[in-house]
């Protein structure tokens, strides 16, 4: 009986020890980061999504572990916490989500600092696309013209919008001023897009093409 009780006690102690070790191991997977005075809580698995990154190295480099902690045990990183948030979220779910008050250039700088190569490529591509869009916008300008038409002439007037002219808006301004005519009057706002880099395009040239019927 004594031997049986001893065996039960040893089994129970072993189970408790294993449970404690599992809990300790689980706790060790969580990492506290003090980025510019703001505390972030994440896991080693998240930080090591890029095994060559600075964030992954601080989880495994014993010298860094001993020398880069604050009084609470959090890793000290002297960077802007606002720009660290999109970097950490990218490691968590693989998506680039940037607050409207942050600049893409700032996120790129943080990605380069933390040496997250995939995020660096994404941010460079994002900035490249934005620059191309801005460049295209600067190369174009619009010519606008307002035309007036009676109700019975409106369809014919709209059909004359050719050679690149586009109807932006049709506005009903009510009845005409003539007492003999009860038809409504309409204003047509038409636009034409010009390439500002083409010196052969003159706004007056294209306005002349849009004649009243």
User: Which of 47, 12, 9, 44 is closest to 25 using CA atoms?
Assistant: 44
For residue 147 the two structure tokens come to: 């035309």
Q: In the 8-state DSSP scheme, what is residue 69?
A: B
| pLDDT, tens digit (0-9, with 9 covering 90-100), for 151-187 | 878 787 777 776 677 888 888 877 655 545 567 888 8
pLDDT band of 149, cuts 50, 70, 90: confident
Alpha-helix runs per DSSP H in the chain:
2-28, 44-47, 54-60, 62-67, 81-93, 104-113, 117-139, 154-159, 203-209
Alpha carbon distance 56, 45 (integer Å): 9
Tens of pLDDT along 51-84? Answer: 999 999 988 876 666 668 888 889 999 999 999 9
Helix residue ranges, H only, 81-116 = 81-93, 104-113
Does residue 95 carry a pLDDT above 60?
Answer: yes
Integer Cα distance of 183 and 95 in angstroms? 57
For residue 86, pLDDT over 50 is answered with yes
Mean pLDDT of the chain: 77
- At residue 89, the pLDDT reads 96
pLDDT of residue 48 exceeding 90: yes
Q: What band does 122 get if pLDDT is binned at 50, 70 and 90?
A: very high
Predicted model pTM? 0.55
């Amino acid at each position: 009986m004594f031997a049986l009780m001893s065996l039960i006690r040893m089994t129970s102690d072993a189970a408790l020890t294993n449970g404690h070790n599992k809990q300790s191991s689980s706790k060790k997977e969580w990492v506290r980061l003090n980025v510019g005075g703001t505390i972030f809580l994440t896991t080693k698995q998240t930080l090591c999504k890029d095994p060559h990154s600075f964030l992954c190295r601080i989880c495994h480099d014993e010298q860094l572990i001993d020398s880069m902690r604050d009084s609470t045990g959090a890793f000290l990183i002297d960077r802007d916490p606002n720009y660290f948030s999109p970097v950490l979220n990218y490691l968590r779910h693989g998506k680039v989500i940037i607050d409207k008050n942050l600049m893409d250039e700032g996120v790129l700088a943080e990605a380069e600092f933390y040496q997250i190569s995939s995020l660096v490529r994404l941010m460079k591509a994002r900035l490249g696309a934005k620059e191309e869009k801005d460049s295209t916008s600067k190369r174009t300008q619009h010519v606008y013209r307002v035309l007036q038409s009676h109700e019975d002439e409106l369809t014919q007037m709209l059909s004359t919008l050719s050679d690149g002219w586009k109807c932006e808006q049709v506005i009903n301004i009510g009845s005409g001023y003539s007492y003999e005519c009860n038809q409504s009057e309409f204003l047509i706002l038409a636009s034409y897009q010009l390439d500002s880099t083409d010196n052969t395009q003159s706004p007056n040239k294209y306005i002349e093409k849009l004649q009243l019927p």
